[in-house]
Structure 1
Amino acid sequence: MTDHCTAVSPVRIAVIQFDPQVGVEHGERNLQHSLALARQAIAAGANLIVLPELCNTGYTFSSRAEAYAHAETLGAGDSVCAWADLAREHGVYLAAGFVERDGLKLYDSAVLFGPDGLLGHYRKAHLWNQEKLWFTPGDLGFPVFETPIGRIGLLICWDIWFPEVPRLMAAQGADIICSLNNWVWTPPPLFDAAGRCMASYLTITAAHVNNLYIAAANRIGSERDGRFLGCSLIAGTNGWPIGEVAGAEEQCILYADVDLTAARSAPIWNSLNDLQRDRRTDLYDAALGYRLHAPMPR
């Protein structure tokens, strides 16, 4: 637990790493597996649960038609309804990724549910590789959602490579970002001597320079011609992982006990430096859009 006399918003975060498989014949198994692992986390005391990107469908589609066959709508899909029911039944908060169909468009989307239903919805803005053949780039911006446990942002996988994404969420007062991922194997080197991948370091850096928590859930396993990195983690406001960084192969659940609102007053290094206050937004290129997101008091 973060070192405070009284925790204002105590949260046990659970990041779930597992191996969903593509194919409509695997859809029900993927969904039930996600629910079973979420219940395991709830039994261990978790009340903020993060599942990977596209965790009910698998990832490596072979055509847009196949991606479309895996899609569901935000309001009535089997998976989103099941996740909503789980959050409501157990009084927890849950983030999960799915293929969203809106009219004829497909999005790589994430949802955030709480005890009272849908709290947030995000569509992946930065599409990776063949995702560009199936999905439309997200059109919802980078919102931060007010919840009873704190301010929560959502991002998906390749988004973490773009520092503007966590920066804009931090400017809106995010306490934590739930990062839903399908980090894939790319040309080597994939891991350093400590066994960490570049995506882990990008997550650590984003948490550090923005003074917030990031809970990053990745998947594992192989699927068609794709392989996945694992390396899920929960980064603290100082950037360093809270507990272990997951390996590249094993199914696991990572936990961290934190006071979410500690992100609003977490110390930097001394009394004269503060990341939010020291930023020179007056000098940064207006095209970056910082002025479109009014800073929240921290």
Structure 2
Amino acid sequence: MSPTHRVATIQLHPIPLSPAKNFAKASAFIRSAVAQGAELCVLPEYHLTNWLPADPAFRDACSDWAVWLAKYQALAKELAVCIVPGTIVERHVSGEGTGEGMGADVMYNVCYFIGRQGEIVGKYVKKNLWGAIERDHLESSTHAPHEVFDTPIGKVGLLICWDLAFPEAFRELIAAGAKTIIIPTFWTLFDCSLEGLKLNPKAEALFLDSMLTARTFENTCAIIFANAGGPPQKGYAGLSQVVIPYVGPIARLGSSAEGMAVIDLDLGILEDAEENYKVRADLARQDWHYDYRHTKREKGRL
């Protein structure tokens, strides 16, 4: 396997509650990226619907999740490219047609890694939900372990948006062998408090740039980060980027406009960084003094 892979991070402005139009835009970007040699294309969180959970039409749109997943699988197979279609919110209703009422009606924010033949290589349900804004509408994967997947670009871990704030998520993936972390995101400048915005109107941009670079150094990993873009007056943060140790962002988009970066990701740099910092080596030691894995719950140590 070559240590260098051509990857694309795609920054979309999701048209509210318009999955067909958003899919068409995403498909056009993916086709352009493949024409530039991309092996992997990554889209933002909520890219099919935007985030409008209080609108009844949002829940209805999320009922069609399997339709859009199948379309991305077909596109990946047609173009022979790997696709991480941002996140797709899945609505699951149990008890329908049983005579027992509607039963549970829950939604999950899900990230998939789709292989070049259209196969599902990996799946991750968002664990760290952003306050009541998400917790009132979505179900978390809670104590399910973070999984690592073997992909054409090596061992990959999937995280979503606010997961970025938790170093434990990264440590668990790195301990399981991940070399590249993919993070679809819908992160705006207005996620900051009013007090924080008074101190620094671009505090969230500082948060993103600082954390993304820090995570690559402290885990000797690469990060492919795809955020939503859009009108700056609505607070869209953008800043989609591909980040590695030593360098930081090797590609970084602007703060709001739609766009795409297609870049060569040299995974050999990760091995040099690991040889220097030995983070993964320490995590692999049997006597290592930190434990970030959920096995401690099984041992009754929580």
Q: Is residue 235–residue 242 contact of structure 1 (8 Å, CA) maintained in 2?
A: yes
Deviation at 1:226, TM superposition (A): 5.4
Q: Is residue 207–residue 239 contact of structure 1 (8 Å, CA) maintained in 2?
A: no
Q: Is residue 274–residue 280 contact of structure 2 (8 Å, CA) maintained in 1?
A: no
Q: What is the rounded CA distance, in whole Å, between the counterparts of 2:51 and 2:289 in structure 1?
A: 41
Matched residue type, 1:71 = C
1:212 correspondence with 2:221: yes
**Which of 10, 21, 27 is the aligned partner of 1:16?**
10
Q: What is the rounded CA distance, in whole Å, between the counterparts of 1:239 and 1:102 in structure 2?
A: 42
Q: Is residue 150–residue 261 contact of structure 1 (8 Å, CA) maintained in 2?
A: no
Structure 1 residues 190 and 235: alpha-carbon distance in aligned structure 2, compared to 1, 3 A threshold: farther
Matched residue type, 2:24 = Q
Matched residue type, 1:233 = Q
Q: What is the rounded CA distance, in whole Å, between the counterparts of 1:115 and 1:37 in structure 2?
A: 17
The secondary structure found in structure 1 opposite 2:255 is coil
Deviation at 1:247, TM superposition (A): 1.3
Partner of residue 88, structure 2: 98
Q: Deviations over 1:190-236 (max 9, x none)?
A: 437xx95311221111111111110000001259x953210111001
The TM-score normalised by the length of structure 2 is 0.82
Q: Is residue 184–residue 226 contact of structure 2 (8 Å, CA) maintained in 1?
A: yes
User: How do 1:40-119 residues align onto structure 2 when only pairs under 5 Å count?
Assistant: 40-63=32-55, 65-72=56-63, 77-96=66-85, 97-103=87-93, 104-116=105-117, 117-119=119-121
Structure 1 residues 31 and 238: alpha-carbon distance in aligned structure 2, compared to 1, 3 A threshold: same
Partner of residue 147, structure 2: 143
Partner of residue 98, structure 2: none
The secondary structure found in structure 2 opposite 1:110 is strand
Q: Is residue 72–residue 78 contact of structure 1 (8 Å, CA) maintained in 2?
A: no
Structure 1 residues 260 and 88: alpha-carbon distance in aligned structure 2, compared to 1, 3 A threshold: farther
Aligned-residue CA RMSD (Å): 2.6
Deviation at 1:73, TM superposition (A): 6.1
Overall identity of the aligned pairs, in %: 26
Partner of residue 191, structure 1: 202
Which one has a larger percent helix, Structure 1 or Structure 2? 2
Q: What is the rounded CA distance, in whole Å, between the counterparts of 1:81 and 1:229 in structure 2?
A: 29
Q: Is residue 229–residue 257 contact of structure 2 (8 Å, CA) maintained in 1?
A: yes
Matched residue type, 2:140 = P
The secondary structure found in structure 2 opposite 1:267 is helix
Q: Deviations over 1:151-191 (max 9, x none)?
A: 11111100000001111111111121110000122242243
Structure 1 residues 44 and 292: alpha-carbon distance in aligned structure 2, compared to 1, 3 A threshold: farther
Q: Once superposed, which parts of structure 1, at least 4 consecutive aligned residues long, lie more than 6 Å away?
A: none
The secondary structure found in structure 1 opposite 2:289 is coil
Q: Deviations over 1:250-291 (max 9, x none)?
A: 11111221233653x233574xx411233586323x5x4365
Q: What is the rounded CA distance, in whole Å, between the counterparts of 1:290 and 1:105 in structure 2?
A: 25
Structure 1 residues 235 and 159: alpha-carbon distance in aligned structure 2, compared to 1, 3 A threshold: same
**Which of 122, 125, 128 is the aligned partner of 1:123?**
125
Q: Which has the larger radius of gyration?
A: 2
Matched residue type, 1:191 = K
Partner of residue 161, structure 1: 165
Q: What is the rounded CA distance, in whole Å, between the counterparts of 2:82 and 2:224 in structure 1?
A: 13
Deviation at 1:237, TM superposition (A): 3.5
Matched residue type, 1:69 = D
Q: Is residue 98–residue 109 contact of structure 1 (8 Å, CA) maintained in 2?
A: yes
Structure 1, unaligned stretches of length 5 or more? Answer: 1-6, 294-298
Aligned length: 273
Matched residue type, 1:114 = G
**Which of 243, 260, 264 is the aligned partner of 2:267?**
260
The secondary structure found in structure 1 opposite 2:188 is coil
Q: Is residue 7–residue 40 contact of structure 2 (8 Å, CA) maintained in 1?
A: yes
